[in-house]
Chains A and B, each alone.
Chain A
């Protein structure tokens, strides 16, 4: 974004600032205030209720002694990478293919998107059944006459996290498709005209012109998915409940389990604060670098 894009005459700016005021209020009191509160509690020995008995870094020391917390962090990275990549590729491909003036566009679009409308409490169970080797796909294919066919990821400690990727992609790819499609349909007609006049083949047009033009939409989708990755909870609870063993545990589940079921608020807030700090460590340098790059280009 270059500087000349911005509006900055005075009365308008005052109105703009005023319009942002409620949001600033929410950010200050709910998000920053809440995160600060959580950080404060993480230094106490609180269990079911908050008690202001400060114990220094004890909760953090305890946190990193839990093998489950470390597995959770690893799983978040593995899941995040695979899920974002898979949803992005599938979602964009679907959007581009749907954009080819196909018959029954709205039917296809609804099929790819309906999964997003379903609540995961039960759909997770359905996925578990489908992936259950003694019930689902493996069972059916073996009955069809392939007795050596094996698809038992969900019961394997090594592979179970990838079944979460499959279900999450099924749930989220449709949304990427919609966001991308909205972007593609918003592309200036002049650009299409120019591409046609030049006789650029379709695949080249999408790859080198259209997708870069809708960069904003794709970034939006990636950020949305990243938020989903950090907050990942429902799908895991419904499909594997963290198992087998701790193979599919994720950070948000660690936080929520300790916050409620295990009545260990101190540990839960230590975990959520750690998570937030880790994200800041990744995001802030990246944001600063982006800013510096924009300055240089301007």
Chain B
């Protein structure tokens, strides 16, 4: 009995303490939900926090790993009536429904005051608006259609660095003959689909890519250019190893790093693994976009700022928005994260070779194009992921059936 009471008393004290430590109210508190949890990502978001705290705010960090977890948390909080001051979403139409539901703060005043239109690349300024109103601050932007390779290995095999998807096939044949794994594949739906869209843009061409994604054109899907890209995509399956299904992209990168495999397709974030292994960009590992003239696939994160009711909370949010959309802070964020410093006038002198290349291409007029997540709804994207993944994983399956299913999915999308 005695012991039982002791336990009860101890618990009561613990709960009391917990409640007490919760009570202190702070000025200019702003809670931010995001999914930047890896080491470099965490250092990057830390730049915003530092700047916000220095400006007199108190940054409350709600990191939730995994985009869909973080978004689900944010949506539930907004719907449940306890919105955070800021929440991360993906660049693209994800925020539109929240804006339509009148749940997001209209950022036009702040945007006008700080000349966002003048400082953001046009494609991005467009993606940050809905019905002529700014609702998001683009933040962690990446190039998606990069190809990475082990330079030493490629030299040893005696192959040239490819410039196009057609050239790549020739190089992959040489690698295969030399007994290495030509293409390290991360066999998860997202990455399989990502490879497909990269091939469609480069090998099928920018025109068909945009017609399919933006125009939802079934005719474009049935075109020769699309079919050619499908053929190239299916052909790439001959160059992967049997262990690929289900593999993390990090493990695929490790195969290139350790010299088991030569090539991989992945967004600019892949540099994190190469650099962590002590490899040097453009010296030990190469990074490029095949058929670069067709386009640079842009994707990434944005921050939305839910409508708040409390005056003090709104003031804190205003300070937060100004901090996070400040080009100098954005540049610091990008350099920690390895993402693109895209605000005009950002200092690009200290970037590593791959990021510098990426930044140059991303801001070259007329080159950047939205990736699948930017141009299509999450629902359509997911359905196409299923389709692409099934096609990829069933070697020898009919390309015609795939094209037909693809066309009808695209045509049925709202």
Indicate whether B79 reaches chain A with its CB closer than 8 angstroms. Answer: yes
Residue of B nearest to A249 (CB): B386
Interface string of A114-125 (1 = CB under 8 A from B): 000000000001
**A245 to B395 alpha-carbon distance, docked (Å):** 11
| A241 touching B243, Cβ below 8 Å | no
Q: Check A155/B246 contact, CB under 8 A, given A245-B390, A260-B68, A263-B379.
A: yes
| A125 touching B248, Cβ below 8 Å | yes
A-B contact count (CB 8 A): 97
Tell me the minimal C-beta distance from B195 to chain A in angstroms. 14
| A240 touching B246, Cβ below 8 Å | yes
Partner of A133 from the list B71, B242, B390 (CB cut-off 8 Å) is: B242
Indicate whether A247 reaches chain B with its CB closer than 8 angstroms. Answer: yes
| B97 touching A240, Cβ below 8 Å | no
| A48 touching B245, Cβ below 8 Å | no
Residues of chain B from 5 to 27 with CB closer than 8 A to chain A in the complex: none
What would be 9 A-B contacts, judged by CB atoms less than 8 Å apart? Answer: A48-B94, A49-B75, A68-B386, A133-B243, A155-B187, A155-B246, A246-B390, A260-B72, A262-B382
| B378 touching A262, Cβ below 8 Å | yes
Indicate whether A239 reaches chain B with its CB closer than 8 angstroms. Answer: yes
**A31 to B379 alpha-carbon distance, docked (Å):** 27
Indicate whether B188 reaches chain A with its CB closer than 8 angstroms. Answer: yes
**Given contact pairs A152-B242, A243-B393, A260-B71, a sample of 18 additional A-B residue pairs in the complex whose CB atoms are under 8 Å apart:** A47-B97, A133-B242, A155-B187, A160-B245, A241-B189, A243-B189, A243-B245, A244-B246, A245-B392, A245-B393, A245-B394, A258-B382, A260-B75, A261-B68, A262-B378, A263-B97, A263-B379, A264-B379
Indicate whether A132 reaches chain B with its CB closer than 8 angstroms. Answer: yes
Q: Check A241/B188 contact, CB under 8 A, given A262-B378, A262-B381, A263-B94.
A: yes
Chain B contacts for A239, CB-based, 8 A:
246
**A48 to B69 alpha-carbon distance, docked (Å):** 14
Interface string of A62-81 (1 = CB under 8 A from B): 00001110000000000000
Chain B contacts for A270, CB-based, 8 A:
none
Q: Which 4 A-B pairs have the closest CB atoms?
A: A134-B243, A245-B393, A244-B245, A262-B382
Q: Check A246/B389 contact, CB under 8 A, given A258-B382, A261-B382, A263-B378.
A: yes
Indicate whether B244 reaches chain A with its CB closer than 8 angstroms. Answer: yes
**A154 to B243 alpha-carbon distance, docked (Å):** 9
Q: Check A157/B248 contact, CB under 8 A, given A246-B389, A258-B382.
A: no
Chain B contacts for A241, CB-based, 8 A:
188-189, 246
Residue among B188, B245, B377 with max Cβ neighbours from chain A (10 Å): B245
Secondary structure call for the B interface = helix
| Count of chain A residues with a beta carbon within 8 Å of a chain B beta carbon | 35
| B97 touching A48, Cβ below 8 Å | yes
Indicate whether A257 reaches chain B with its CB closer than 8 angstroms. Answer: yes
| Count of chain B residues with a beta carbon within 8 Å of a chain A beta carbon | 34
Indicate whether B98 reaches chain A with its CB closer than 8 angstroms. Answer: yes
Partner of B393 from the list A47, A133, A244 (CB cut-off 8 Å) is: A244
Tell me the minimal C-beta distance from A13 to chain B in angstroms. 31
Indicate whether A135 reaches chain B with its CB closer than 8 angstroms. Answer: yes
**A245 to B94 alpha-carbon distance, docked (Å):** 25
| B377 touching A155, Cβ below 8 Å | no
**A247 to B390 alpha-carbon distance, docked (Å):** 8
Q: Check A262/B242 contact, CB under 8 A, given A49-B97, A241-B188.
A: no
Residue of A nearest to B94 (CB): A263
**A267 to B189 alpha-carbon distance, docked (Å):** 20
| A49 touching B242, Cβ below 8 Å | no
Residue of B nearest to A240 (CB): B246
Indicate whether A242 reaches chain B with its CB closer than 8 angstroms. Answer: yes
